Amino acid sequence: MRGQGFTLGFRLTRYMGQTRTGIHGRSLQKFRRKVRAITAREHGQKAWKKGKLPRTRVWNLIGVARRWAIAVGNTR
Inside any domain, residue 3: no
Long-range CB contacts for residues 32-41, cutoff 8 Å, separation at least 24: 32/72, 35/61, 35/64, 35/72, 35/73, 39/73
Type and span of the H or E element at 64: none
Number of domains in the chain: 1
Q: Is residue 4 part of a domain?
A: no
Would you say residue 10 has pLDDT above 70? Answer: yes
pLDDT (0 to 100) of residue 39: 77
If DSSP codes are grouped into helix, strand and coil, which group holds residue 15?
A: strand
Within a domain: residue 35? yes
- The predicted pLDDT at position 1 comes to 46
Residues 28-53 have pLDDT tens digits of 898 888 888 877 766 555 565 666 78
Residue 58 lies in a domain: yes
Of the listed ranges 6-10, 15-19, 41-45, the one predicted with least confidence: 41-45
Domain that holds residue 35: 10-73
